[in-house]
Amino acid sequence: MAINFNQALGIHPQALTLREKRSEILAANLANADTPDYKARDLDFKSVLSQAVASKAGLERTRQDHMAEQHTVLGADLLYRNPQQPSLDGNTVETHIEQAKYAENALQYQASLQFINSKFSGLMSAIRGE
């Protein structure tokens, strides 16, 4: 009986890739905190989840103008962040918020790694017959 890694690992490899891309976006926001007119960006995980559910249901685009996509990264919409306190130079990066989001994303990345590690440990136990 063959092992299907897609079924065994679930959505965690895709989540890991998405967390990596989100780290890059948040790091770019932090790097441009002093750039005039820079607009902070972030991913919309809700759209990723809805796309994953839609793909499981077998939905697909049949026409170009049906369900038109916005600018996306790995299937997630890349949106602009609304600042709580806009700056005078038009920059929407709020360093404390970006740092908190980056730390939260790093924690979620570590959690995904631990889930994958536990899945592999379980597979190794099954292969060894333990």
- In this predicted model, what pLDDT tens digit does every residue of 11-20 receive, in sequence order? 778 788 888 9
Asked, for residue 4, whether it belongs to a domain, the answer is: no
Asked, for residue 2, whether it belongs to a domain, the answer is: no
| Burial degree of 76 (CB within 10 A; 0-12, 13-18, 19+) | buried
What is the extent of the structural domain holding 30? 11-128
Asked, for residue 23, whether it belongs to a domain, the answer is: yes
Q: Are 114 and 11 in contact (CB under 8 A)?
A: no
Asked, for residue 6, whether it belongs to a domain, the answer is: no
- What 3-state class would DSSP assign to 72? strand
Looking at the structure of the chain, the number of domains it has is 1
Asked, for residue 34, whether it belongs to a domain, the answer is: yes
Asked, for residue 3, whether it belongs to a domain, the answer is: no
| Residue keyed to tokens 């060894």 | 128
Asked, for residue 90, whether it belongs to a domain, the answer is: yes
- What 3-state class would DSSP assign to 80? strand
Quick: pLDDT tens for 39-98: 999 987 667 656 755 665 444 556 655 544 446 666 667 888 888 888 899 999 999 999
Asked, for residue 35, whether it belongs to a domain, the answer is: yes
Q: What predicted TM-score, i.e. pTM, was given to this entire model?
A: 0.72
